[in-house]
């Protein structure tokens, strides 16, 4: 199933609650929450207090993307704050399997993520253990960058691996998705689409409606 996961990184934080309600009303089911620590990536965003605060007001599925060093240190806290799925970078820890188990132990869904330069082989051994693989199509750290189309080859490779093993692992693409390239991203094999600026910049209703329409049309093919 194709899923749209709007990234609140590009939202207007003054109106965050309203904007979350708006995407929810338009039929969105996921919310992508980017956590950056200024160590794994150059920038710093938000963390558990923000997640806990919005958790009280919505039942959206919280897709939490940890761009932090040593994610294993914070799994319990993110789970408690209200994450439904915790995705971490394989480049950020030397304890990938332990971190996966820790997230599972908290009863949350698990995702692993690959930076643009990381080969698909880095995810291969964990495919059976995770619910989702996130293929970054920009260098993690900032919204509004241009999609690196070479990364879509990795999406296709992972899709082939998942199918060859008869798995139902979701494949998420994050970074530079637009109304114009979303179909290309889906064709490459992704089924969970993160969109920050393509949702929250300009008209949210037009953006979400167009993205969802294109995603449904692609699915019906």
Indicate which residues carry an active-site annotation: 34, 174
Burial label, 175 (beta-carbon count in 10 A; 0-12, 13-18, 19+) = buried
Report in angstroms how near the CB of residue 174 gets to ligand DX5 at its nearest. Answer: 5
Q: Name the nearest CA neighbour of 197 among 68, 34, 50.
A: 34
Contact between 32 and ligand DX5 (CB under 6 A)? yes
Burial label, 112 (beta-carbon count in 10 A; 0-12, 13-18, 19+) = buried
Q: Using CB under 5 A, which of 65, 89, 102, 108 touches Zn ion?
A: 65
Contact between 63 and ligand DX5 (CB under 6 A)? no
Nearer to ligand DX5, 158 or 200 (CB): 200
Report in angstroms how near the CB of residue 165 gets to Zn ion at its nearest. Answer: 26
Nearer to ligand DX5, 101 or 178 (CB): 178
Contact between 176 and ligand DX5 (CB under 6 A)? yes
User: How far is Cα 160 from Cα 137, in angstroms, rounded to an integer?
Assistant: 18
**Residue 66 phi/psi, 5° resolution?**
-90, 115
Nearer to Zn ion, 79 or 135 (CB): 135
**Residue 209 phi/psi, 5° resolution?**
-60, -45
Q: Using CB under 6 A, which of 3, 9, 60, 90 touches ligand DX5?
A: 9
Residues 6+ apart with CB under 8 A from 118: 90, 91
Residues that bind ligand DX5 (CB under 6 A): 7, 9-10, 32, 34, 65, 138, 140-145, 174-177, 194-198
């Amino acid at each position: 199933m194709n899923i749209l996961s709007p990234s609140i990184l590009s939202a207007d934080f003054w109106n965050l609650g309203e904007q979350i309600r708006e995407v929810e009303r338009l039929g969105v089911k996921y919310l992508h929450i980017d956590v950056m620590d200024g160590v794994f990536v150059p920038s710093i965003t938000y963390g558990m207090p923000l997640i806990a605060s919005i958790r009280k007001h919505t039942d959206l599925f919280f897709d939490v993307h940890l761009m932090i060093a040593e994610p294993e240190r914070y799994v319990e806290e993110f789970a408690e704050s209200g994450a439904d799925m915790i995705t971490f970078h394989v480049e950020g820890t030397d304890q990938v399997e332990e971190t996966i188990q820790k997230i599972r132990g908290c009863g949350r869904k698990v995702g692993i993520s690959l930076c643009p330069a990381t080969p698909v082989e880095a995810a291969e051994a964990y495919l059976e253990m995770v619910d989702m693989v996130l293929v970054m199509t920009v260098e993690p750290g900032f919204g509004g960058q241009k999609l690196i189309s070479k990364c879509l080859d990795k999406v296709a490779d992972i899709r082939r691996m998942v199918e060859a093993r008869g798995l139902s692992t979701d494949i998420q693409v994050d970074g530079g998705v637009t109304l114009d390239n979303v179909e290309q991203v889906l064709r490459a094999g992704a089924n969970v689409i993160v969109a920050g600026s393509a949702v929250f910049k300009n008209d949210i209703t037009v953006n979400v409606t167009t993205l969802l329409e294109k995603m449904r049309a692609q699915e019906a093919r």
